[in-house]
Amino acid sequence: MNEQKILSMLREVNAIITESHIVYTSGKHGSAYVNKDAIYPYTNKVSELCREIAKFFVDEEVEAVVGPEKGAIILSQWVARHLSCITGREVLAVYAEKTEDGGFIIKRGYDKLIEHKRVLVVEDILTTGGSAKKVIEATRALGGNVVGLGVICNRGGIKPEDVGGVPELFALVNITLDAWDEAECPLCKNDFPINTDVGKGREFLARKQA
């Protein structure tokens, strides 16, 4: 499946929003957004996307797949399932949980399941790569051998060295989105309404009104 086909799939479920005024998690503003939450209700599409990730890593002898909560829990299940079907051996699916200090931890007995295993980390959207990097570090701290990072969309131009030097970083699609500081945002200057349905627009407006 080529990148244009995947982009078409994402547009079909309104996972790619354009011509809007978005406030990103970073605090920067932009005109487009990749809404990962719009993808997950469509199980057939999620399965297809995860099959493509699984196919890319099929020769890496992956033994377990781990993703950061919440959305990537779904991805880890589907990618592991497809790897199991393709290779004919069971590939485990686990997830990492957020900690109060902003990190990630693998527990619930899953830590024992990835110890000394060949592990594939999965994520939906890479913006800064921060969450993926923390999961990779948590996996390695438990003795897991991270063989790669597979993602649906790399929208931050993230490279392997940005996420702990993974051997392989694979994204189904790579998208470059404009991002401006609030003071330089042309949409703000033209009073273009803030999108409060996605991103951090609602929180941004609440701070402005406080």
- pLDDT for 1 equals 84
- pLDDT for 67 equals 96
The average pLDDT across 2-27 equals 90
Q: Tell whether the model's pLDDT for residue 149 goes beyond 90.
A: yes
Q: Tell whether the model's pLDDT for residue 76 goes beyond 90.
A: yes
Q: Please write the tens of the pLDDT for every residue from 90-143.
A: 999 999 999 999 899 999 999 999 999 999 999 999 988 999 999 999 999 999
Counting every residue written for the chain, the total comes to 210
The average pLDDT across 50-67 equals 98
Specify which residues 68 forms β-bridges with: 96
Q: Tell whether the model's pLDDT for residue 82 goes beyond 90.
A: yes
- pLDDT for 9 equals 93
Which structure tokens are listed for 38? 């719009």
Higher pLDDT residue, 208 or 12?
Answer: 12
Tell me the domains of the chain and their CATH numbers.
Answer: 3-203 (3.40.50.2020)
C-alpha distances in angstroms, 196 versus 25, 176, 181, 200, 201?
A: 13, 22, 18, 7, 5
pTM: 0.89
- pLDDT for 18 equals 87
Q: Tell whether the model's pLDDT for residue 146 goes beyond 90.
A: yes
Task: Give the whole-number percent of the chain exceeding pLDDT 70.
Answer: 100
pLDDT band at 179 (very low <50, low <70, confident <90, very high): confident
Three-state DSSP class for residue 94? strand
Q: In this structure, what are the phi and psi dihedrals at residue 181, rounded to the nearest 5 degrees? A: -65, 150
Distance separating alpha carbons of residues 70 and 50, to the nearest angstrom: 16
Which structure tokens are listed for 177? 């989105």
pLDDT band at 191 (very low <50, low <70, confident <90, very high): very high
- pLDDT for 89 equals 97
Q: Tell whether the model's pLDDT for residue 66 goes beyond 80.
A: yes
Nearest to 66 by CA among 102, 29, 107, 94: 94
The average pLDDT across 70-84 equals 96
C-alpha distances in angstroms, 171 versus 103, 129, 156, 159, 206?
A: 23, 12, 11, 10, 34
